[in-house]
Structure 1
């Protein structure tokens, strides 16, 4: 059997960095091509500068390396996207269409499309949000993800292109700084705590949101892509869940290790976005179809985040 060759778009992003490393471990460093708009000298192995809005540039890389799978991680996120909604829509959708068409026309076997809890609107059941509610997103990022889910389903049904997707909750990881998402307080807060700084949260204390630790998010992604095709029953995007908490609960968890940590609250426009999102997620379909199970809860995640960030800042001080 031929060796799979993996192309990752947006490889310098929060998820892309960690996903690239894990895929290099799985497929071999020579068989994973990381790409982004700008050169990233920190990547080991294959790296190409790629503007995913350029169809021909994607096609060139796919043919050059004989790519068999694409993980399309490039996107403008929720909070950042609200500053320029039309260009966010244009970029998020045009890049996905390019990936779909290049894949369809050039024998790419599988495509991964990351969706988000941003696809849900404020008319949903917010606790234990089901797999298939009415999707009326309140951000252009969410609109683009909901549309992308339907295009993924369309390309599978019409062309047989094996597109798979997860609706990520807020993703928390120590590997990179926040990237412009509504749930990014749950990343930034750890950096402030480890640097003995106070944190001003842009959500109120009781805003409950579903989250997932980076290790679980990456593992879920790779597990889904490894599942035999016949076991996949959701061709839009699977709900997945890790844990749910609010800013106050997260601060209390951090205070167990940093008792002097202080957090204040100054909600901004992101509060309205968060109020339209689920508080918890029903991911029973993922559990049934491919045995998905998260490993990290709030306490385990907090301990691991603090340990890794302490090591990071002690060995390589960074100003943020």
Structure 2
């Protein structure tokens, strides 16, 4: 990567990722874009308002800056998508099609995140394989499976250097979550410091894969910098750093804030989504093909989250 265009740059992943990319590649070589205002982007950074559905504007921006890499993060997430599936499909699939066409025309490498949501209730729950049945029951999951297949097609048909991972729930102290099913694991830290109590919308005993944002950012950069010849699966690597249920995260927080309490007010929509996903992914393909190696477990993440949020 030498010059990088990031779509959806003001979202949960984009905020952290763009900061790190600028440190590595220089501010002049990272072009941030998003549909909305430049929230969370510092004044001296290159930023353009861009709706990924605008194929002409998307193409002109990539061509203007002579980018060699597109990191396409623009997407509608799972819980929000169930409320507006038409918008989700328009952004998640039609926007991705634009990114693929622009990458083909301008010879760019393309990173597209998939998700644990690409699996469904018929998928093996524990140690979920890299290649397995995928029959998601949400609009979000269907859009992500479609994206995986589109990226595979553009690589095999046109030689586009497409790459991606299936992200689990992502946890960050820099930005609030944007409507995902795993968001309880972010909210709980804010409420632990703010009120000392949290009501979880995910039920006790519900295990989901998670990852701390520094590990997520590192795995994007590491995957994109890996020699293409090493990649077999290419567009949908399972990645995860930990798997836990709400009681696990409560106990981790209580090591530092003993008076913290938690109860449950389960959201049936998000709970149904969570129940359709795996408990724990097999990440061996990512480890073997490009050296995926997360650094944070649950307690290390809790320590770091609470420290940073307290300072804020």
User: After superposition, where does 1:120-131 map in structure 2 within 5 Å?
Assistant: 120-131=119-130
User: After superposition, where does 1:182-261 map in structure 2 within 5 Å?
Assistant: 182-261=181-260
Question: Are 2:275 and 1:275 aligned?
Answer: yes
- Give the structure 1 partner of residue 24 of structure 2: 26
Q: 2: distance between equivalents of 1:224 and 1:30?
A: 22
Bigger mean CA offset, 260-269 vs 142-151:
260-269
- Give the structure 2 partner of residue 69 of structure 1: 69
Q: What is the root-mean-square deviation of aligned Cα atoms in Å?
A: 1.0
Deviation at 1:259, TM superposition (A): 1.3
Contact 1:34-1:48 at 8 Å conserved across structures:
yes
Contact 2:209-2:244 at 8 Å conserved across structures:
yes
Gaps of 5+ in 2: none
Question: Are 2:163 and 1:164 aligned?
Answer: yes
Deviation at 1:201, TM superposition (A): 0.6
Deviation at 1:106, TM superposition (A): 1.7
User: After superposition, where does 1:32-51 map in structure 2 within 5 Å?
Assistant: 32-40=30-38, 42-44=40-42, 45-51=45-51
Q: 1: distance between equivalents of 2:124 and 2:51?
A: 38
State the TM-score, normalized to the length of structure 2: 0.97
Q: Deviations over 1:49-100 (max 9, x none)?
A: 1111100001110111111100000000001100011221122101000011
Q: 2: distance between equivalents of 1:41 and 1:302?
A: 26
Contact 1:220-1:292 at 8 Å conserved across structures:
yes
Contact 1:164-1:224 at 8 Å conserved across structures:
yes
Q: 2: distance between equivalents of 1:42 and 1:98?
A: 25
Contact 1:116-1:142 at 8 Å conserved across structures:
yes
Question: Are 2:287 and 1:287 aligned?
Answer: yes
State the TM-score, normalized to the length of structure 1: 0.95
